[in-house]
Amino acid sequence: MIPVIFVAPRLSDNASRMIEAIGALPGVQLGVISTDWVEQAESGTRDVIVQHWRVSDVLDVPQLQHAVNEVAARIGGVERLFGAYEQLQVPLAEVREAMGLPGLPVQAALNFRDKSRMKDVLRANKLPCARHTLVDKFVDAIAFAERVGFPLVIKPQAGAGALATYRVDDARSLGEALDLTRPSVAQPVLLEEFITGSEHSFETISIDGKAVWHSLTHYHPTPLEVLRNPWIQWVVVLPREVDHPMFDDIKASATQALSALGQTTGLSHMEWFRRADGSVAISEVAARPPGAQITTLMSRACDFDFVASWANLMVYGEFTPPERKYAVGAAFLRGQGSGVVRHVRGIDRVHEELGTLVCDVKLPEIGQPPAATYEGDGFIILRHPDTAVVERAIRRVVELVHVELG
């Protein structure tokens, strides 16, 4: 038996899927650490957990270390320690190094987590990314704006998912964003040039630092634009042609970036831009599975369980590249107006017009408050062997479905 410990802040639906996938692997003794009580998990999730340990803060390294020691003592040791949550990657790396466990080392975890440090590494390796600086006061931010010009983007040094991220178009809006983010010497914010162009993701499976498989998606529009316009229903498309030569430039840049940042074995998620002149620019890279249902899109594109495959990768260091069979698209449903969800209209029309393409549906619940993220309150996923069919159909979903608040 191989003793494995998985760490998650909460026993959410996503975490539970991962726990069940790890627990289903042959020869695994699974321990789980979370801030939730194990009783809060569904029975199927509880059934695969051999030992659970609750902590008040999974990001606190002493607490995490203590919990790992306690769980390990009850499951016969620990040979694999990992999690999927972005903010956990550095604490997990610190505990692994202290215990001599395999996995992403601390310095590499910091490269991925600290967005300013990440861009320093990328630029030092002549990889295309936005010019940037860390600022703790207005005068430094203005000096950077004078050098680079507006518009700019201001974000946390260790952010994730476009949270607390703002586009600023002039000195006034820069001052307003700084008032919201409240930078300090102890906690500066990242200021970077605003890259114009289409935004995409690039996912890579690496084994012992070597990229062995990749996928990618197109964002319509950019997440930052979605956050600035609450009425927009965001779309993500995974084309079938991810191996087309048109993507050779970002594939090469992504491979070089992962090597420079120190990726070992795992799944990474990169966000990147295609500029108007055709060149690419790397936005950010995360050493963890992607959000925004991208793992679901990859599963549907290849007709296999990507979460189970990722679990096998993290425990046994093995990955069998699947055949790509479909293009896939997701439309994220966001409420219009204010208040709570009152009506979800247009679903019948979607099934009438596009029913043969629909493979996943999660509708907003009546009475729920709207989410503040670009992923909204639900989603509809379509697939078809022809990318153009998926692109047309997913746009039609956005036209047909309306989530009304009131």
Per-residue pLDDT at 160: 59
| Beta-bridge mates of residue 329 | 237, 382
Per-residue pLDDT at 196: 87
* Structural domains of the chain sorted by starting position, each given as residue range(s) with its CATH number in brackets: 2-102 (3.40.50.20), 131-193 (3.30.1490.20), 198-405 (3.30.470.20)
What whole-number distance in Å separates Cα of residue 202 and Cα of residue 250? Answer: 8
Per-residue pLDDT at 163: 63
pTM listed for this prediction: 0.92
DSSP, res 322:
P
Contacts of 300 (CB under 8 A, 6+ apart): 326, 328, 359, 360, 381, 383
Per-residue pLDDT at 230: 82
**Beta carbons within 10 angstroms of residue 185's beta carbon:** 7
If we measure between CA atoms, which residue out of 392, 405, 14 comes closest to residue 235? 392
Residue 68, φ and ψ in degrees, nearest 5: -60, -45
Per-residue pLDDT at 41: 95
Average pLDDT per block of 10 residues along the chain, 406 residues long: 97 96 98 97 96 98 98 98 97 98 98 93 95 87 89 80 77 87 86 92 98 97 87 95 97 98 98 95 96 96 97 97 96 91 96 97 94 90 98 97 94
Quick one: which H or E segment has residue 389?
helix 387-400
Per-residue pLDDT at 162: 56
Task: Report CA-CA distances (Å) from 307 to 21, 61, 78, 246, 261.
Answer: 7, 27, 21, 28, 24
What whole-number distance in Å separates Cα of residue 113 and Cα of residue 224? Answer: 20
If we measure between CA atoms, which residue out of 337, 342, 305 comes closest to residue 322? 305
